[in-house]
Structure 1
Amino acid sequence: MIDSVIRYSATITAGGLMLPEARKVAALLQTNPTQADWVKAICADNLLQKNTPATSTRQANLLRARFGTLPKAALKLIASGSQEAAAQLVFAACIKHSTLIADFMRSVVAGHVRRMDEAIARREWDIFLSECAARDPAVESWTASTRTKLFQVIVSMLVDARYLESNRTLKLRTPSLHPEVRALLKHHGEDALIDTLELRP
């Protein structure tokens, strides 16, 4: 059940799963960097290999905020675990960090799986946003380009996390949570997050 009082954010337009960058940021965070260390790594050393310090800072800060929602033990698996496990944990962080993504998973993606639908239709994003606007009127002010970008970012995440076959077909895949990811989240009491990742009602 989705709460009746919610505040949604469009900040995820700053980046999708960004797995290569996420691994680097997770490795950096494992060193418990000071703010000076963080700025040096992201801006001076250009850890993420971006064209401008502003882009590096924006993406690194978003990833750090996402990872702050997960148990600290997740950083090691993101930084050096298998690609599948790392991608699932980064996506788990996205769900924890963004109510918009979490509600889309529970309302749209899980609903499709329960009904055994083959694919997600683009129009369902518009319907979903209308429902979001009923809970948070600020959503009404999002421009058409922002709405389109949000859909593109979420679809990209779902493809990278292996919930969709491609961003062209939008065909659903059967989700399978990596054993290490499941064990880590279970150990830290993240049962609700596991349910969302496994598309349970």
Structure 2
Amino acid sequence: MKNPYPTNFSNASLLIPESRIIAGLLLQEPTTEEWKRQVYDDNILQLRTLNGAKTAGNLIRRRLNTMDKALWKFVHTGSKELATQSVLAATVKFSPLLGDYIRDVYQRERKQFAEQLRPSSWNQFIEECHNRIPDLPVRSESTQAKLKQNAFRIMAEAGMIDNTRNMTIRHLSLAPQLKRYLENSDEHYVLSCLLPERDRV
């Protein structure tokens, strides 16, 4: 059975400045050689190591490739809010473990008017996943800790919680351009993660 929950957000959060750069490069439809030249040789992401540039560049590319050029433009030239939410949309589609947590736990807590997101809710969610999917691989404690840390970092960067310390739940108002894009692209799963049920079409 294919693992429905790859650990593909354990090494990075949203990386918004870097995502803007990669989105601009993808809009140029680079060849493999051009990609390597700009990301690896020219270090357009301005990272300290070649390995860091490769890892970040390839991760961002895989995230953004879940969507199309219209969303890449939001990321590349949109406002900070639009770019951030667009990267979030691509990330939850690329990383359904994060998406399901946001949909099943965060949206539920919002619906119940909870003031804070409990850190323990992540561990409870993972336990529920294992109960529901008995063949789900058991991850190391260090990987689990990284996933939990980055899940909350991503949610804080996106404005879903105030910060990773007090975990105060905030109202995420989805940018109208992004909402229309997701509706027109039939991105029902992503919408279920980013919008309360009452706000969906």
Range into which the TM-score falls when normalised by the shorter chain: over 0.9
Give the TM-score taking structure 1 as reference length: 0.92
Shift of 1:138: 5.8
Once structures 1 and 2 are overlaid, which stretch shifts more, 129-138 or 71-80?
A: 129-138
| Number of positions where the alignment pairs a residue of Structure 1 with one of Structure 2 | 197
Matches within 5 A, 1:1-201: 7-137=4-134, 139=136, 141-200=138-197
Give the TM-score taking structure 2 as reference length: 0.92
Secondary structure at the counterpart of residue 14 of structure 1: coil
Distance 1:36 1:135, change over 3 A: farther
What amino acid is aligned across from residue 57 of structure 1 in structure 2? Answer: K
1: distance between equivalents of 2:107 and 2:174?
14
1: distance between equivalents of 2:62 and 2:133?
22
CA contact (8 A) 1:69 1:96 kept: yes
CA contact (8 A) 1:6 1:136 kept: no
Deviating beyond 6 angstroms after TM superposition, the runs of 4 or more aligned structure 1 residues are none
Q: Give the percent of matched residue pairs that are identical in Structure 1 and Structure 2.
A: 30
User: What stretches of structure 2 of length at least 5 have no aligned partner?
Assistant: none
Q: Deviations over 1:107-128 (max 9, x none)?
A: 1101101111111111111111
User: What stretches of structure 1 of length at least 5 have no aligned partner?
Assistant: none
1: distance between equivalents of 2:138 and 2:79?
40
